[in-house]
Structure 1
Amino acid sequence: MEQEILKKWQINVIDFVFSKDELNNFYLTGGTALAGYYLYHRISDDLDFFSFNNFDSMSIHAVAEELRKIIGADKARFSKLYDRNQFYYMVGGEELKIEFTKYPFKQLERAGNFKGVIIDSEYDIAVNKLITITDRFDPKDFVDLYFLLQKYPLEKLQEAVKIKFNTKLDPITVGSSLAKVKMIKALPKMVKPLTIEELKEFFNLEARKLSPLVIS
């Protein structure tokens, strides 16, 4: 199924990254990992590779140059934000992003191994998505969390955030973050059916469930 979700350039990059011994501490995570290997629910473009361990930046830049050739990029640029090494490639007018990040938070569940491709667990991605949604507004995070909450109760993810990040998400923070669903004007390219109205109704209900906890 991942072959139907992932684009050819993504498959080529993923296969290349996990063929390199110097990158054996990395795992694929984020929306593309979720869509391409677990939920098959939407199209996702970015590739996010995380490592719990430190890594050599020079090696990453060397890999990035090889990736440029594999992708066939016309142009490339680099951006560093804290421990996030972000590489942007222009291909036929489209900008593609590949990220290599030091992520110092231990996974709650063992990563999956899909024919040699190491993928963050669905549960860990769900926990990451919840804390992410309190830090930024991006419609695709709401879409991902919508499908994840069909399997993982919100309360369970809140408890997991506390364990993984040593951060307690209070009901006001979570509720106000979920209420931002009203700002969504368009959804990412979907594979599974979902409308904006369904998304808003779902998260408005989840936010209302938190109201008694805020009052108490």
Structure 2
Amino acid sequence: MMNKIIQYQDKVLKLLSGKMEEFYLAGGTALSRVYFNHRLSLDLDFFTQNFNPDAIRKIVANLEEALGKEIKLAGQTAGKGKIRMVVYYLAIDKENTLKMDFVEDWVKLIKPLKSVDGIDVLSKEDIYFRKILAIAGFIESLDGVGRKKFSGGREEAKDFYDLYFLSHTFMNLSVFARAYCDASHREGLIRWFRTYSRLDMKTGIMELRAQARPDYNQMERHFKKEIDKLIEKEIEF
């Protein structure tokens, strides 16, 4: 089953090569396919800073024609204060479906996009930052004393593992957070580590399809060390 979905990922990306204009591959699939090959990611996440529903519909229609497969709209978000997103499912056969997300990216790029086989891809730094936003939250509000804070973070094993891999392999989390995150994001990161469900995360980690068997306890120790360093720097600052 997984092999068939990966094959269709390859087909879709080949068909979209040179035709995506303002869209770029993001998320765990970009991190795995382009940079680390550390886990299996079965979705395709395309981000854009110029969200255009008509352009998305055209891309999907062209894919349907080229593949001879039905692609159904599964859901969408819109409205004031919400990130616009549309989700499509490509029906490969009765048992296999490829999920494709087209997402409005409101975050300024840290590094230039990387072109791979005609598809623009987020840099490791930009994927890293968006992973932090995913867990720390990105819904902005003010606390009781008027300080900016973020909420709405998620607790998913794939983000936990991706962040660990980025921190362990690319740049330590404490170093990255000091370099690229503001105080509110760092506070959200610390809050996430203190409050996420250890039992749920450990269960989710065991279910990941990774190249090497993930060791939750090792990852937890790594994050504790990095969060302790981050708190130490916050106190010094």
TM normalised by structure 1 equals: 0.81
Task: Give 1:214 deviation, angstroms.
Answer: 7.0
Task: Give 1:168 deviation, angstroms.
Answer: 2.7
Residue aligning to 1:26: 23
Answer yes or no: is the 8 Å Cα contact 1:90–1:96 preserved in 2.
yes
Distance in 2 (alpha carbons) for counterparts of 1:95 and 1:178: 33
Match of 1:116 among 105, 115, 118: 118
1:171-186 matched pairs, under 5 angstroms: 171=187, 173-179=188-194, 180=196, 182=198, 183-184=200-201, 185-186=203-204
Residue aligning to 2:8: 9
Match of 1:80 among 76, 90, 109: 76
115-124 or 61-70: bigger deviation: 61-70
Residue identity over aligned pairs, in percent, reads 25
Answer yes or no: is the 8 Å Cα contact 2:77–2:86 preserved in 1.
yes
Task: Give 1:9 deviation, angstroms.
Answer: 0.5
Answer yes or no: is the 8 Å Cα contact 1:131–1:161 preserved in 2.
no
Residue aligning to 1:161: 181
Answer yes or no: is the 8 Å Cα contact 2:60–2:71 preserved in 1.
no
Q: Tell me, what secondary structure is at the counterpart of 2:185?
A: coil
Residue aligning to 1:50: 47
Q: Which residue identity lines up with residue 152 of structure 1 in the other structure?
A: M
Residue aligning to 2:103: 101
Task: Give 1:147 deviation, angstroms.
Answer: 0.8
Residue aligning to 1:196: 216
Task: Give 1:175 deviation, angstroms.
Answer: 2.0
Answer yes or no: is the 8 Å Cα contact 1:111–1:118 preserved in 2.
yes
Distance in 1 (alpha carbons) for counterparts of 2:230 and 2:106: 30
Q: Tell me, what secondary structure is at the counterpart of 1:113?
A: strand
Distance in 1 (alpha carbons) for counterparts of 2:64 and 2:221: 42
1:10-43 CA distance string (max 9 Å, x none) = 11111222332xx311111110000001011000
Q: Tell me, what secondary structure is at the counterpart of 2:110?
A: coil
97-106 or 125-134: bigger deviation: 97-106
Q: Tell me, what secondary structure is at the counterpart of 1:80?
A: strand
Task: Give 1:181 deviation, angstroms.
Answer: 6.0
Q: Which residue identity lines up with residue 132 of structure 1 in the other structure?
A: A
1:84-142 CA distance string (max 9 Å, x none) = 11112343333421011221322111111123221110111011111111111110001
Query: Is structure 2 residue 95 aligned with structure 1 residue 128?
Result: no
Distance in 2 (alpha carbons) for counterparts of 1:25 and 1:170: 30
Distance in 2 (alpha carbons) for counterparts of 1:137 and 1:71: 35
Consecutive unaligned residues of structure 2, counting only runs of 5 or more, are 79-83, 137-152
Consecutive unaligned residues of structure 1, counting only runs of 5 or more, are none
TM normalised by structure 2 equals: 0.75
Query: Is structure 2 residue 13 aligned with structure 1 residue 35?
Result: no
Q: How many residues align?
A: 204
Distance in 2 (alpha carbons) for counterparts of 1:75 and 1:61: 10
